[in-house]
Amino acid sequence: MPKSTLSTAEVIEMLNLVADRIIEAEPMLSEADRNLGDGDHGLGMKRGMEAVKEKLAAGAENIEKAFSNTGMAMMSSMGGASGAIFGTFWRAGGKTLAGKDQFDAEGLASLIKGGLDSVMARGGAKPGDKTMIDALHPASLKAAEVASQSLPDAAQAVAQAAVDGRDASKAMIATMGRAKTLGEQSIGHPDAGACSVAVIFQAMSDYISA
Ligand code: ADP
Ligand code: MG
CATH for 160: 1.25.40.340
pTM: 0.98
**pLDDT, tens digit, for every residue of 93-147?**
999 999 999 999 999 999 999 999 999 999 999 999 999 999 999 999 999 999 9
Angle at alpha carbon of residue 198, lines to 84 and 54, rounded to 5°: 55
User: What percentage of the chain has pLDDT greater than the value 90?
Assistant: 92
Q: Which ligand is nearest to the CA of 119?
A: 1
Beta bridge partners of 103: 6
Please list all protein residues whose beta carbon sits less than 5 angstroms from ligand 2, which is an ion. 33, 37-38, 40-41
Higher pLDDT: 203 or 180? It is 203
- Per-residue confidence (pLDDT) for residue 178, from 0 to 100: 83
Please give the residue range of the domain that contains residue 152. 8-209
Closest CA to 169 of 153, 181, 187: 187
* 179 in Cβ contact with 186 (< 8 Å): yes
Domain count for the chain = 1
Residue 1 lies in a domain: no
Residue 84 lies in a domain: yes
Query: From atom 2 of ligand 1, which residue's Cα is the shortest distance away?
Result: 81
Residue 50 CA: distances (Å) to CA of 20, 128, 144 = 8, 30, 30
85: left (phi over 0), alpha (psi -120 to 50) or beta: alpha
- Per-residue confidence (pLDDT) for residue 184, from 0 to 100: 87
Q: Where are the alpha helices (DSSP H) in the chain?
A: 8-24, 26-36, 41-56, 63-77, 80-95, 105-123, 133-145, 151-168, 192-209
pLDDT (average), residues 21-31: 98
* 56 in Cβ contact with 70 (< 8 Å): yes
For the CA of 192, the nearest atom of ligand 1: 14
Ligand 1 contact, 105 CB (< 6 A): no
**pLDDT, tens digit, for every residue of 190-200?**
999 999 999 99
pLDDT (average), residues 1-13: 97
Residue 2 lies in a domain: no
Residue 121 lies in a domain: yes
Query: From atom 23 of ligand 1, which residue's Cα is the shortest distance away?
Result: 123
For the CA of 132, the nearest atom of ligand 1: 16
Residue 3 lies in a domain: no
Ligand 1 contact, 137 CB (< 6 A): no
Residue 71 lies in a domain: yes
Identify the DSSP state of 154. Answer: H
**pLDDT, tens digit, for every residue of 152-189?**
999 999 999 999 999 999 999 999 888 888 888 889 99
* 44 in Cβ contact with 88 (< 8 Å): no
Cα separation, 129 vs 54, in Å, equals 33
Residue 77 lies in a domain: yes
- Residue 49 scores a pLDDT above 90: yes
Higher pLDDT: 8 or 186? It is 8
What average pLDDT does the structure give for the chain? 96
Residue 75 lies in a domain: yes
